[in-house]
Chains A and B, each alone.
Chain A
């Protein structure tokens, strides 16, 4: 499989805490992306980090990329109940014409 791997598979935290999710991948990449999926809905793009970037911020989101370790992390600061969702990393795979391949996701539960 060319899929990336997110870690952990599931994460449960309380409102106000930070949530960190990790993603590992197997090939060289142009960029790595993170998506969120609320239950029963389509995926929504959160952030894209290019291979020449090491860190990127968007609101309460911080993404890091370590191409030497083929890994990325997504940090959500000051989590809210509305952040409850599944989070997926995605990267382009040269074996599939640089179409995006998705990991299996991290299921995040934020309790009040």
Chain B
């Protein structure tokens, strides 16, 4: 099992550009989530999904969209990148919400 796979590992964008961060898991987990990690702020929840076709907002959802068309994939879309979205992004999954999370290795995003 590969676990949770995130791509790309690094990305540089210009302000206003859009992009999609990919996340896939092969553990048949129902629950998937996206976090961003900023220095001194810990991890903050962006969006989460409790199953295919079901998504909801976390603590910092503005500027991000998600969809969950399959159990395996949970992409995160930046609609119009802003410098404030410079961060490290982590995707995580678990068999159910509130249970042990498995994390991907992260995407380091810089918005210029």
| Residues of A bordering B, CB below 8 Å | 1-3, 30-31, 33, 35, 40-45, 48, 88, 90, 92, 96-105
Q: Of the candidates B4, B40, B41, B101, which one forms a contact with A100 in the assembled complex, judged by CB atoms under 8 Å apart?
A: B101
- Of B12-20, B64-72, B78-86, B103-111, the one contacting chain A is B103-111
Cβ B50 vs Cβ A97 within 8 A: yes
Cβ B90 vs Cβ A42 within 8 A: yes
With a cutoff of 8 Å between Cβ atoms, the chain B residues found around residue A42 in the complex are 4, 90, 103-106
The 3 closest A-B pairs by CB, nearest first: A42-B103, A104-B42, A102-B43
With a cutoff of 8 Å between Cβ atoms, the chain A residues found around residue B25 in the complex are none
Cβ B105 vs Cβ A103 within 8 A: no
Cβ B106 vs Cβ A99 within 8 A: no
Cβ A96 vs Cβ B58 within 8 A: yes
Complex CA distance for A42 and B48, rounded to whole angstroms:
17
Give 13 pairs: A residue, B residue, CB < 8 Å, sorted on A. Answer: A3-B44, A42-B4, A42-B103, A42-B104, A42-B105, A42-B106, A43-B43, A48-B99, A99-B33, A99-B45, A99-B98, A100-B97, A104-B41
Interface centre among B48, B98, B100 (most CB of A within 10 A): B98
Cβ A99 vs Cβ B97 within 8 A: yes
Q: Of the candidates B4, B44, B97, B104, which one forms a contact with A97 in the assembled complex, judged by CB atoms under 8 Å apart?
A: B97
Interface centre among A33, A88, A101 (most CB of B within 10 A): A101
Known: A99-B33, A102-B42. A43 touches B98 (CB 8 A): no
Kindly list 12 other residue pairs between chains A and B, CB separation below 8 angstroms, not including A41-B105, A43-B92, A104-B40.
Answer: A2-B59, A3-B42, A3-B44, A33-B100, A40-B106, A42-B103, A42-B106, A88-B42, A98-B97, A100-B33, A102-B43, A102-B44
Shortest Cβ distance from residue B35 to the other chain A in the assembled complex, whole angstroms? 7
Shortest Cβ distance from residue A40 to the other chain B in the assembled complex, whole angstroms? 8
With a cutoff of 8 Å between Cβ atoms, the chain B residues found around residue A105 in the complex are 42
